[in-house]
Structure formats: structure tokens, C-alpha cells
Structure 1
Amino acid sequence: MDQLFAALAKSTFRGKFHLRAKDLHYLHTKGLPVMREHAADFVGKRLAGAVIANDGKQTPYAGHPVFVAQHATACCCRGCLQKWHGIAQGRLLSNEEQHYIVEVLMRWLNQELSRPSNQGRVRYE
């Protein structure tokens, strides 16, 4: 995962995503355990299917910290999952792949909480 995050850090597009005050407040209020539940739910409902009718458009750019994390980590659609994570399109995601995606999202959320501009916020494990 370190190599993935190093590659993501070099991407101008992926690097522009950061949590805004509203998302940080929501994350602070709900905590990382709830974000993990939301991430698992979003991955299961929006990414896990073999065929996704609106693939490439199923993840909003704002409105929830996990949505921002999905774009920042290229876990937003099956095309990005194939390009960045090597997870093939056109088939159901395995439980292991879904778990991996959630772990990627949680790592990014933890990193966002650790950003100097976000210090002083409570960190939940």
C-alpha cells in the first residue's frame, strides 16, 4: 500500500482532493469506525457489482468524507480500480478486494486527519 500512496501522491488530479471543514467536522463527529461502516456500504453497493450501469459517475465528488477519499485514492469506479489497483472490471469484487478498498480509504482518511492543517482534531481508531 505504501507504493500505491507514493504513486497517488505524484498524481496532480488525485492530490487535489482533501477534506473540507464540513467533511472534517462530520468525520470528527461520527468517528473512523462509522466511516469504515459507510465505506464498506458504499463499496458494496456502488463498486462490487460485475456490471455498473453508471460506472465512472457513481461516486459524487463531495457530500461525504468517504466520497472524497474514493476519488483521492482512485477507488471511485471500476475503471480507476483497474488502472490504479489492478482489480479487473466486469466481475464481482471478492470480499477480500472489498476489504482492501476499505483499508485504502481508511488509510487516506487517517492521513487527512494527520495533515498539519487538520491537527488538533480528535483521531478515532
Structure 2
Amino acid sequence: MYQSAENIWARLQRSPFRMKFHLNAKDSAYLQQKGTAVILSHAYDFIDTRLAPAFPENDGKQTPMRGHPVFVAQHATATCCRGCLEKWHRIPQGKALNEEEKQYVVNFIAHWIESETSGHP
């Protein structure tokens, strides 16, 4: 069912749409001010409320393009809606995410944030 995270990461690195997302100065400052642990707790909350339900409200439009580092990361990692989650990560639509799947999404976001802040893809 699942592809390896490395395989997905490599595919994302070849997507012109996904590669255009980067943290802006405001997002970077917010990340630095709050710290990674707090930002990732926000990520878990966003995933739990906006992505985890079997049929999220406004699916496909529930994740803003900017306004929080996690939102940017979700678009960069194709974890922004259930359609992208199925297409890129092979996590099927129509069933609620379990804890393992939610943690997988948060870990993928964490990896992108780390690569973005370290300058290493």
C-alpha cells in the first residue's frame, strides 16, 4: 500500500509545482520564534482536524497556501488534501487516518521543514 518515504521524497523533488514552495521570511521567523516542537504540534493538530477525517470539510481546499509554516510544508509534501495524500502517498481517501498515518504525515512535514531550514534537500 505505502511507498517508501525516500521514493516519495525523490518524486516530490522532481515536481515543479511542489518544488516552488519555500518558507518566506515571516514563516521562518515564526518557526524560529516558536521552535520546531511547537510547530510540529501545530502540524499534528492541523492534520488531526483538517486531513484525518474520512471526508474532510472542503477537501481539496482546506489547506491555505500560506499563513503558517505547516501549510506551506503540506503543499510542498503533497499532504494538503486527501486527493494528494492518495496520489502521492498511497493513503486511500474515504477512511479516517489512524494514528500511524497521522504520525507519518507529521514526520514527512518535519522532514521538509528540516530540509528547508538546513538548505539540504
Shorter-chain TM band = over 0.9
1:1-125 aligned at under 5 Å gives the runs: 1-115=5-119
AA partner of residue 64 (structure 2): P
- Give the letter for the 2:102 counterpart: Q
Number of aligned residue pairs: give it.
116
Q: CA RMSD in A?
A: 0.9
CA contact (8 A) 2:50 2:57 kept: no
Query: Deviation at 1:53?
Result: 2.9
In structure 2, distance between residues paired with 1:34 and 1:53: 25
Aligned to 1:122: none
Query: 1:115 & 1:19 partners in 2: Cα distance?
Result: 11
Among the aligned pairs, what percent are the same residue? 55
Q: Distance in 2 between matches of 1:50 and 1:90?
A: 5
Distance 1:2 1:76 in 2: 19
Q: CA deviation at 1:48?
A: 0.6
Moved over 3 A (4+): none
Mapped to 2, the partners of 1:47 and 1:23 lie a distance apart of 21
TM-score with structure 1 setting the length: 0.91
**TM value normalised by structure 2:** 0.94
Q: CA-to-partner distance for each residue in 1:65-122, whole Å, 9 max, x for gaps?
A: 0000000000000000000000000011011000000000000000010117xxxxxx
